[in-house]
Amino acid sequence: MSKRIGKSLVVNGATLVTEARWNAELDEKHERLVAWMREEGLAGVLIRRNENVAWLTGGAVELRVLTPSETGVASLLVSATGKRYYFTTENEAPRLHDEEFGALDFEPVIFPWYADNTVDAAAHAAGGPLGSDTPAAGATLVNLYPLRTALGEAEIARYRWLGAETAAATVEALNQVEPGLSEHDLEAITAAGLLRRGILPSVYLYAVDGRILKYKHAAARGARLKEYGMLNLCARKWGLAMSITRFVHFGAMPGGLIERFHAAAQVNAALLDATRVGATSAELFHVAQAAYAAEGYPGEEQFHHQGGPTGYWEREWIATPTGTETVVNNQAFAWNPSIRGGKAEDTVLLRDGKIEILTSTADLPIIEATANGRSYPAAGVLVK
């Protein structure tokens, strides 16, 4: 197989993924995609969604300009014969060559900014039935998630770095929180720490005091902190998504809140212990349901989803009572059980039957939760 990328992934002067390892990742993904196309009877697939572009290019290409958009400023085409193209406009082409595709073996197809002809050009280049991960005239809509479910070695290396740095930025922000700051201040403090690290915040659910107890998804609305603050965030780099929630309390915590944190940690432990290859979405939902009941909070699972696998999307699917999706090896998860102000949320990796916490924060209090005799620590509240 020919070389797919001409560089190593270097972060802050350290090599995170060698050129050989990166090439191996990209070759394997290319082969997997081509084999899938042939099985589906497709001559080519047009890839426009940011998560799929990041997956196929091993995180080497970032096409976002409008952050919330599901697509970026270029599209990829891979043909069943193995040819690879990127389509973009003349105004974007120089930077994309220099900073995104220059080390990759994709052939550029360039249009004037006012005459983008990507779909027709992709259909012509494919020379037969075309699939697309976004709706496109004459193309079959395809879902590439099954191809990106399990993480490879190079992806895991990137994910570990992202987990550690996201956790560090969260702790850094938590230590700066003080009474009188607004929920928007908490957002700004965390965003600054993430952006300094080259990490893009993607979800902010920041709340203080009574809003934490009242709302499960408490988007910041500017309330000012008195005693209790929550930093609930997701962040992205190389297309990979990371989730973490941490709390700070000024003064002694109420006994009831302490109890609910311990109960949420136990539900989290039950979910992590049940996250095993072959487990279904429905089975995991019922594990959470039973764990809430065992902790004295029956029905708590009805008030909010419990999380699920992550990777190139903040949640690739969530556990539901009838869900048929199944767990695979080398898959990342972010469970988020919560009980009236108490919550546990980290991003973890299931690897060969073991759970690895990617967002561990050893400097913060730890709740030692267990399930089936195995320990699954959860973060406690930082009390100041």
Name the phi and psi angles at 66, rounded to 5: -85, 105
| Beta carbons of 139 and 130 less than 8 angstroms apart | yes
Name the phi and psi angles at 93, rounded to 5: -60, -45
Q: What is the mean pLDDT of residues 51-74?
A: 95
Q: What is the pLDDT of residue 4?
A: 80
Q: What is the mean pLDDT of residues 308-321?
A: 97
Q: What is the mean pLDDT of residues 143-153?
A: 97
- Kindly give the pairing relationship between strand 44-49 and strand 130-132: parallel
Tokens 């802050």 map to which residue?
12
Comparing C-alpha atoms, which of 19, 63, 154 is closest to residue 5? 19
- The amino acid at residue 19 is E
Q: What is the pLDDT of residue 3?
A: 56
DSSP helix/strand/coil, 182: strand
Q: What is the pLDDT of residues 103-112, one digit of tens each?
A: 999 999 999 9
Average pLDDT score, the chain: 97
* Helix and strand totals (H; E) in the chain: 9, 23
Which DSSP category does 106 fall into? P
Q: What is the pLDDT of residue 250?
A: 98
- The amino acid at residue 135 is P
Write 81-89 long-range contacts (CB < 8 A, 24+): 82/30, 82/34, 83/107, 83/125, 84/30, 85/109, 85/122, 85/125, 87/111, 87/116, 87/118, 87/121, 87/122, 89/113, 89/116
- The amino acid at residue 301 is E
C-alpha distances in angstroms, 295 versus 164, 265, 268, 325, 366? 31, 10, 12, 27, 19
Cross-strand pairs, 141: 132
| Beta carbons of 38 and 46 less than 8 angstroms apart | no
Q: What is the mean pLDDT of residues 67-79?
A: 95
Q: What is the pLDDT of residue 101?
A: 95
Q: What is the pLDDT of residue 370?
A: 98
pLDDT band with cut points at 50, 70 and 90 for residue 2: low
Comparing C-alpha atoms, which of 172, 174, 169, 173 is closest to residue 199? 169
By percentage, how much of the chain surpasses pLDDT 70? 99
Q: What is the mean pLDDT of residues 301-319?
A: 97
Q: pLDDT at residue 95 above 80?
A: yes
Q: What is the mean pLDDT of residues 136-145?
A: 97
pLDDT band with cut points at 50, 70 and 90 for residue 1: very low
| Beta carbons of 308 and 334 less than 8 angstroms apart | yes
| Beta carbons of 106 and 96 less than 8 angstroms apart | no
**232 Cβ contact list (under 8 Å, min separation 6):** 203, 204, 205, 206, 207, 218, 245, 343, 345
The C-alpha atoms of residue 178 and residue 249 are separated, in whole angstroms, by 9
pLDDT band with cut points at 50, 70 and 90 for residue 128: very high
Name the phi and psi angles at 122, rounded to 5: -65, -40
Cβ neighbours, 10 Å, residue 256: 11
Q: What is the pLDDT of residues 176-198, one digit of tens each?
A: 999 999 999 999 999 999 999 99
Q: b/e per residue, 260-293, with b = 16+ CB within 10 A? A: bbbbbbbbbbbbbbbbeeebbbeebbebbbebbe
Cross-strand pairs, 331: 350
Cα 228 versus chain centre, distance? 27
Burial class (CB in 10 A: 0-12, 13-18, 19+), 14: exposed
Q: b/e per residue, 158-187, with b = 16+ CB within 10 A? A: bbebbbebbbbbbbbbbeebeeebbbebbb
**pTM of the entire structure?**
0.96
Q: What is the mean pLDDT of residues 25-41?
A: 97
By percentage, how much of the chain surpasses pLDDT 90? 97
Question: Can you give 122-149 as a three-state secondary structure string?
Answer: HHHHHCCCEEECCCCCCCEECCCHHHHC
Q: What is the mean pLDDT of residues 268-277?
A: 98
